[in-house]
Structure 1
Amino acid sequence: MKKIIFTALLAVSFIATAQEKEEKGTFTLSGTVDVYGTANFVDGAGTPGILIANPENANGFGLGSANTVFAYEKGKAGVVADLAFGPRADDANLAGAINQLYAYYKVSDQLTITAGQFNTFLGYEVISPAVNFNYTVSYLFNAGPFSHTGIKLNYEVSDDFSYMLALTNSHAISSADGNVGGEMQLGAQLGYKGQFLNFIYGGVDGSGITDNVFFDYTGGFDLSDSVFLGINAAYSNSSDADAGYQGAALYLQKTLSDSFALGFRPEFFQANGASDASVTAYTLTANVSLTDNLKLITDLRLDSSEDAAIEVFAGQKSVSAFTMAAVYSF
């Protein structure tokens, strides 16, 4: 009898503990810190593709950002608070120190609704340097949106196929600006086996021009067990503003060991308007993992333009730069 009572009490204890854990939910903390050193091979300071508010001042050693992501999930709902500080964050954030801040609800295993500020679904590269293979960013990344504020619906049809619909503010309207004019964007994404077609239509910056259209393809393929090819192609246009852009970038990456990989990113970018201006950029990158958390990213970059379209070097037709960054993730 005592054994039966003890077993029953033990079972009740296990059930109570399991319920308590379920009620508490799951909390996770992650983040990154990055610093860099850079130099160009022309007169004056500056490095194309350095994601800081004033890349024309980049010279010698500099700070990237300190990024901390708090996430909590309980049952079908959760929230993410992604805070970022530093020059890189100052260039990308729409709301002070907030990079992302959103809540989500899983209506089902397939359908998730997200509301708040979230990073863009366009493009191959992202704000966090820990996720990118290269440290300097492409012209396509700088030209497109960084984040959106609004609501989106993600639906996973299967492991291979998904789609997303979004209704957001114009993407260049910050929290300080406020969406006073009521400009909105419609967004959509189709995903199939790691290939994504993205679309946005609407306003951009509260200027009253609302016919901006963005088409974007982002994907990649494993060419072998150690060679990967990423692809990003994009087109944007506004007839009312008589402005837009188009371009493409390839991301060829060769893994040589568990801790070392080489990459090559060729890019063509053209800004359209009253007069078109194009630029090509070639980036050779060495990516070295010193530990599970710390990696060194070294970019040797060459930008060329006959139309004086090189970022921060309007008077130059060719600029080469060397950048080495330390990125720590936790």
Structure 2
Amino acid sequence: MKHLFTLTLLLTSLVLSAQEKTDAPEKKFTFGGSIDAYFRTNFTAPNDDNQIAPATSFADTAGFSLGMGNIIASYEKGKVGAVADLVFGPRGEAASATVLNQLFAYYNISKNTKLTIGKFNTFLGYEVISPTGNFNYSTSYLFSNGPFSHTGLKADFTLSEDFSLMLGVFNQTDVTEFNPDGSYAVGAQLGYSDQFLNLLYDKAGLGFEIDYTGGFDATEDFYIGINAAYADNEGEGFYGVDIYPQYSTSESLTIGLRGEYFQTQSDAISDDPSVFSVTLTGSYVVDEDLIIKPEFRLDSGSEDIFIDTDLMATKSLGSFVLAAIYQF
């Protein structure tokens, strides 16, 4: 009888131990990233050390060039998790200044509320730093003149099936390692069915920016993306609009256009320059992971902001890019 009681206790202990392991939060670790490289040439300007290119971020050197290597590791256990996003190469250095593109921890307080602290890419705009998140390989003027990243605390709320809200407080825009002067920026994002209205106020840095990002499916194969923004910092700023029509001809090939009007504004200048840019991009997927992107781009300014093949000032610049992006 004594042995039977002891055996019962042992079995009960094993069952309870197994139950505790079953109830323990599941640990999830993921690892991925990308690399990209490109060839670029000007049609209407020299291809030399002057690096004549549109005044936008990345993909601005002639000949065969490197983009960036991107390594992303994430870990989640229960309601908490962390992400380390590392970048290497010219594109990463231009965007982040360090290898830390993103580095943050998060806590899912509830099903509808999430807190995030650390460094994360901006919530404003249609385009992002990583080429895997953009359709066009070269970037827009709106993206290049807006913020890249923030370091701070943000709260994301799922208000309903269609509505979402983000509120955050950050260091000065793109000052991501520390706070140099004790000033802070505040931001908000209201989302409705994949349409987003974004606000950022950063008195010591960018100033005030309001931004709309969204799009819609015109048909099953035809998508139109939209980005419009206005920024002002004590009389200095910009505004513009981008349209992104994209048509999928097959599962492997999509053709897209970016049409952009961008205008700078300054109280010190009576006639601020503007630029109209058209970028035609093809995106061909090879075996799901490799993307080949040929791209033709024409930038036309309201003033002579470029140089032609005779080294004379001119209003326009035509260029071509062939990019390869591999995701893993």
Query: After TM superposition, is the score higher than 0.5?
Result: yes
Give the Cα–Cα distance (whole angstroms) in 2 for the partners of residues 98 and 315 of structure 1.
39
Q: Does 1:185 align with 2:199?
A: no
Give the paired residue count: 313
Give the Cα–Cα distance (whole angstroms) in 2 for the partners of residues 49 and 260 of structure 1.
29
How far the C-alpha of 1:40 sits from its partner, in A, is 0.6
Give the Cα–Cα distance (whole angstroms) in 2 for the partners of residues 115 and 42 of structure 1.
46
How far the C-alpha of 1:297 sits from its partner, in A, is 1.2
How far the C-alpha of 1:144 sits from its partner, in A, is 0.1
Q: Secondary structure at the match of 1:216?
A: strand
- Paired position in structure 1 for 2:22: 18
- Paired position in structure 1 for 2:173: 171
The residue type paired with residue 106 of structure 2 is Y
In structure 1, list runs of 5 or more residues that go unmatched: none
* Equivalent residue runs for 1:38-53 within 5 Å: 38-45=40-47, 46=51, 47-48=53-54, 51-52=57-58
- Assess if the C-alpha contact under 8 Å between 2:40 and 2:321 holds in 1: yes
Q: Does 1:286 align with 2:282?
A: yes
- Paired position in structure 2 for 1:218: 213
- Assess if the C-alpha contact under 8 Å between 1:303 and 1:310 holds in 2: no
- Paired position in structure 1 for 2:77: 74
- Assess if the C-alpha contact under 8 Å between 1:49 and 1:136 holds in 2: no
Question: TM-score normalised to the size of structure 1?
Answer: 0.88
* Equivalent residue runs for 1:118-197 within 5 Å: 118-175=120-177, 178-197=178-197
Give the Cα–Cα distance (whole angstroms) in 2 for the partners of residues 290 and 315 of structure 1.
41
Q: Secondary structure at the match of 1:173?
A: coil
Give the Cα–Cα distance (whole angstroms) in 2 for the partners of residues 204 and 133 of structure 1.
33
How far the C-alpha of 1:19 sits from its partner, in A, is 5.0
2:296 to 300, 306, 328: 300
Q: Does 1:85 align with 2:88?
A: yes
The residue type paired with residue 191 of structure 1 is G
- Paired position in structure 1 for 2:110: 108
Give the Cα–Cα distance (whole angstroms) in 2 for the partners of residues 193 and 253 of structure 1.
19
Give the Cα–Cα distance (whole angstroms) in 2 for the partners of residues 18 and 221 of structure 1.
43
- Assess if the C-alpha contact under 8 Å between 2:152 and 2:169 holds in 1: yes
1:234 to 222, 229, 232: 229
- Assess if the C-alpha contact under 8 Å between 1:66 and 1:86 holds in 2: yes
Q: Does 1:258 align with 2:258?
A: no
How far the C-alpha of 1:10 sits from its partner, in A, is 9.5
The residue type paired with residue 69 of structure 1 is I
How far the C-alpha of 1:9 sits from its partner, in A, is 10
Change (3 A) 1:314 1:243: farther
- Assess if the C-alpha contact under 8 Å between 2:119 and 2:176 holds in 1: no
Change (3 A) 1:314 1:272: farther
How far the C-alpha of 1:310 sits from its partner, in A, is 5.9
Deviations 1:100-135 (A, max 9, x none): 000000110000000000000000000110111110
Give the Cα–Cα distance (whole angstroms) in 2 for the partners of residues 130 and 314 of structure 1.
36
How far the C-alpha of 1:14 sits from its partner, in A, is 6.0
Give the Cα–Cα distance (whole angstroms) in 1 for the partners of residues 323 and 258 of structure 2.
17
Question: TM-score normalised to the size of structure 2?
Answer: 0.88
Q: Secondary structure at the match of 2:151?
A: strand
- Paired position in structure 2 for 1:202: 202
Give the Cα–Cα distance (whole angstroms) in 1 for the partners of residues 14 and 288 of structure 2.
40
* Equivalent residue runs for 1:20-39 within 5 Å: 22=25, 25-39=27-41
- Assess if the C-alpha contact under 8 Å between 1:277 and 1:308 holds in 2: no
How far the C-alpha of 1:12 sits from its partner, in A, is 6.8
Change (3 A) 1:181 1:284: same
Change (3 A) 1:315 1:146: farther
In structure 2, list runs of 5 or more residues that go unmatched: none
- Assess if the C-alpha contact under 8 Å between 1:64 and 1:88 holds in 2: yes
Deviations 1:149-187 (A, max 9, x none): 101000001221000001001113242xx4221121110
Q: Does 1:317 align with 2:315?
A: yes
Change (3 A) 1:48 1:79: same
